[in-house]
Amino acid sequence: MSRYAIIFGGESYEHEISIVSAITIKDVLKSDLVFIFCDDRHTFYLINEKDMKAKYFSSMGYKKSKELSLKKGGFYKKTFLKEKIVEFDIAINLIHGKDGEDGTISSLLDFYDISYIGPRVEGCCISYDKHFTKLYAKSKNVDILPYEILNKSSDRVIDMDYPIIIKPLRLGSSIGLSVVKDEKELDYSLDVAFEFDDDVLIEPYYENIKEYNIAGIKSKNGYIFSMIEEPKKSGILDFDKKYLDFSRSEGASKAVLSEEMKEKIYSSFKRVYGELFNGAIMRCDFFIKDDTIYLNEINPVPGSLANYLFEDFNAIVEEISLNLPKKRKISVGYRYINSINVAKGK
């Protein structure tokens, strides 16, 4: 069985959720685990398993842990006379939001040839920006709700009917999200959203729209899906409710859907996952309205890796660890430069 390094934290509004996810995974993933924490100044620390408690981070206790440096092939800790590599087989990207889902940590791990579970740079670029997600979904023939994009410096003119929902364009966990019932509430809600991002996504808000979540991976034998869940909620899940939701380790309840609807959700998930999210345990959130499936969001690093949606989460992690994308090796031989030098007689 593989030894996994859980990378969590990051400079993100979702930093605390990442800590909660890592603590949850500690109790769920039955493997030999290493915990690597990235603080908001991008310093890496090796955290002892016994210290994996929320207060250890909020009290800055983590600063007593060993600092790590990231180099070719892995993370290194200083010893008395030299450096020693931190032993693990595969890293798991568990940084939510900025750093983890914007492609930063993926770029670093790729650059230093570290094998990892998580979205690659291209998938991060598409899923981190909600506008790009919409355009990508349309290109894959997956339905989306109508939307508008508003910049902080733009006139505050909305073309769609109220009620609407406003979301920061590059943020998750319902941070900065508001439901706006009429024009009187618009300015305040935009002010809140613009605290977190210079651009916002605006969509129509449907009071009783059905939402369904599904996670999955792609292995050499095809797709493996989790159950389809209908989240139990009253209204919009705000940050506090989602914070608690991300700490879930118990199983979810299966949604009651017809086989036809299930197949539509599976088909939409496969089109979204495609080749772009190979190597990731991804969760997609869908709406169903008038028997049409609409993509709401792509979560390439879902809270607690959506472990609660899978019947055997450990088997899922092991399966994807055996089917990670392979980097194409490029051999630099300087043939072009050498041929020029030969032609010049040098």
| Mean pLDDT, range 81-98, rounded to an integer | 95
> What mean pLDDT is predicted for residues 151-160?
92
- The DSSP-derived string for 278-328 is TT--EEEEEEEETTEEEEEEEESS-GGGGGGG-SSHHHHHHHHHTSPPPPP
pLDDT of 239 reads 46
Ordered structural domains, the chain, with CATH: 3-117 (3.40.50.20), 125-143+209-321 (3.30.470.20), 148-204 (3.30.1490.20)
Sheet with 148-151: strands ordered across: 148-151, 199-204, 164-168, 178-180
**pLDDT number for residue 281:** 98
Confidence of residue 81 (pLDDT cuts 50, 70, 90): confident
In the predicted structure, residue 28 carries a pLDDT above the cut 60 = yes
Look up the pTM and report it: 0.90
pLDDT in tens, 104-136: 999 999 999 999 999 999 999 999 999 999 999
Whether the per-residue pLDDT at 69 is higher than 90: the answer is: yes
> Does residue 101 register a pLDDT over 50?
yes
Q: For residue range 257-268, list pLDDT tens digits in order.
A: 999 999 999 999
Q: What percent of the chain has pLDDT over 90?
A: 81
Secondary structure (DSSP) of 130-171: HHHHHHHHHHTT-B----EEEETTS-----SPSSEEEEETT-
**Dihedrals phi, psi of 173, to nearest 5 degrees:** 60, 20
Cα 175 from Cα 342, distance rounded (Å): 61
Is the separation of the CB atoms in 283 and 307 below 8 Å? no
Residue 247, pLDDT > 70, answer: no
What mean pLDDT is predicted for residues 328-334? 85
CA–CA distances in Å: residue 229 to residues 199, 257, 317: 30, 10, 20
Task: Report the SS3 class of residue 53.
Answer: coil
Q: What is the mean pLDDT of residues 243-259?
A: 71
